């Protein structure tokens, strides 16, 4: 079973090598690794080029943002399963992809799998900031502002083929729109894998304090578009995040 993993990068010279190594060090042998770079100018391209022979596909050119780049990567993916690894992030350990594939093999009717993640400091210490425990899936949880952590979500390629990719009118929260579309509107068959999938460094678009207001505005529009109560859902989402931060669970 071929697994396509897609990383998009723009000026991430300080993190991209750790990300690449965490993918290449996976013990699952059948991985197609795709990197889409947005014409970085900080040395990221030089770092990526060191691993070019180990990549299935590499493209560096200007793009219209992260989700435009992700859509490019998805269009190149040949794997039956597709996962995303952001350029600030790393796999939790070397056995993550193997455990995900095993779940798909054991549950052939399943269209998607998600798990747990960790937010860590973006420095050498990589200290834990908070955990994101996915928990069992339910529509009622979505109505209360919950969604699986996007980098832990692995989907069959057929999901993208059926329900399309990311809506690029949203520059920060298109993943929220995509997850609501496939989970809340179309109700694909997805299951929870109770293990850590990814370590996410604080400071990316969705976790950067400078972009909080834009995230809120996009979330509000997305919840309204997808038939949820925007104010209530946004407040519940933030309350869930605060609880996780305070308890580290």
Q: Name the residue with higher pLDDT: 28 or 224.
A: 28
The confidence score (pLDDT) of residue 208 equals: 57
Domain residue ranges in the chain:
3-247
CB atoms within 10 A of CB 138: 10
CA angle 159, 234, 68 (to 5 degrees): 40
Query: What's the pLDDT at 130?
Result: 86
Provide the angle, in degrees to the nearest 10, between the axes of the packed helices 212-225 and 230-247.
130
pLDDT of amino acid 186: 95
Task: Judge whether residue 150 has pLDDT over 70.
Answer: yes
Read off the pLDDT of each residue in 152-180 and give the average, rounded to a whole number.
Answer: 96
Query: pLDDT tens digits, residue range 77-120?
Result: 999 999 999 999 999 999 999 999 999 999 999 999 999 999 99
Domain 3-247 coded CATH 3.90.850.10: no
DSSP E strand boundaries for 26-74: 31-37, 57-60
The Cα 57–Cα 223 span in angstroms is 35
Distance CA 118, CA 130 (A): 6
Please name which of 195, 91, 200, 183 lies closest in space to residue 135, comparing C-alpha atoms: 195
From the centroid of its chain, how far is CA 53? Answer: 24
Neighbouring CB atoms inside 10 A of 185's CB total: 12
Distance CA 249, CA 245 (A): 7
Would you say how long the chain is, in residues?
A: 249
Question: Is a pLDDT exceeding 80 seen at residue 232?
Answer: no
Tokens of 200: 């996410």
- Band (225; pLDDT cuts 50, 70, 90): confident
DSSP strand E in 174-221: where? Answer: 190-201
Residue with tokens 């022979």: 53
- For residues 20 and 88, give the distance between their C-alpha atoms in angstroms, rounded to a whole number: 10
Give this prediction's pTM.
0.90
Distance CA 104, CA 68 (A): 28
Q: Cα–Cα distances in Å, from 148 out to 13, 94, 235?
A: 28, 21, 17
107 DSSP 8-state letter: -
61-70, 122-131, 142-151, 204-213, range with greatest mean pLDDT:
61-70
Band (128; pLDDT cuts 50, 70, 90): confident
- pLDDT of res. 244: 59
As a whole number of angstroms, the distance between CA 145 and CA 244 comes to 14
């Amino acid at each position: 079973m071929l697994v396509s993993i897609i990383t998009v990068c723009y000026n991430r010279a300080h993190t991209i090598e750790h990300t690449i190594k965490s993918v290449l060090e996976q013990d699952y042998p059948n991985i197609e690794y795709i990197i889409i770079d947005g014409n970085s100018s900080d040395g990221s391209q030089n770092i990526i080029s060191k691993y070019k022979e180990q990549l299935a596909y590499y493209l560096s050119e200007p793009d219209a943002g992260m989700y435009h780049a992700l859509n490019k990567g998805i269009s190149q993916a040949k794997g039956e399963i597709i996962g995303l690894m952001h350029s600030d992030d790393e796999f939790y350990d070397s056995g993550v992809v193997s455990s995900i594939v095993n779940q798909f093999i054991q549950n052939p009717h399943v269209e998607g799998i998600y798990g747990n993640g960790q937010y860590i400091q973006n420095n050498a210490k990589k200290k834990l900031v908070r955990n994101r425990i996915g928990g069992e899936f339910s529509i009622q949880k979505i109505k209360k502002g919950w969604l699986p952590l996007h980098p832990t979500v692995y989907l069959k390629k057929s999901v993208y083929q059926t329900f399309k990719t990311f809506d690029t009118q949203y520059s920060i929260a298109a993943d929220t729109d995509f997850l609501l579309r496939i989970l809340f509107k179309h109700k694909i068959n997805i299951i929870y894998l109770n293990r850590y999938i990814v370590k996410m460094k604080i400071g990316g678009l969705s976790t950067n304090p400078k972009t909080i207001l834009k995230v809120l505005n996009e979330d509000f529009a997305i919840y309204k578009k997808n038939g949820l109560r925007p104010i209530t859902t946004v407040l519940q989402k933030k309350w869930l995040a605060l609880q996780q931060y305070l308890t580290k669970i």
